[in-house]
């Protein structure tokens, strides 16, 4: 996922350097979408880790 995001940033850089504003805007939107997906995945991983740690705690019974 990070590789895809880095690839999009490279495309954005090249579009910005070429002066193609419409392409740069489209690539910016795509990069933002990838960033949101990456953030959601990281949040899911943190929740899963938290749940796993909670499950490992000894529970009195």
The pLDDT confidence band at residue 61, using thresholds 50, 70 and 90, is low
Q: How many CB atoms lie within 10 A of CB 31?
A: 19
| pLDDT tens figures, 9-46 | 787 778 777 776 777 778 788 888 888 888 999 999 99
Closest CA to 24 of 47, 8, 39, 48: 8
Q: Which long-range contacts (CB under 8 A, 24 or more apart) does 37-46 make?
A: 37/1, 38/1, 38/2, 38/5, 41/1
The answer to whether 26 and 33 are in contact (CB under 8 A) is no
């Amino acid at each position: 996922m990070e590789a895809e995001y880095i690839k999009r940033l490279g495309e954005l850089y090249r579009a910005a350097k070429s002066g193609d504003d419409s392409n740069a805007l489209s690539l910016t939107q795509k990069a933002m979408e990838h960033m949101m997906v990456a953030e959601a995945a990281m949040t899911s991983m943190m929740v899963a880790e938290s749940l796993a740690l909670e499950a490992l705690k000894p529970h009195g019974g």
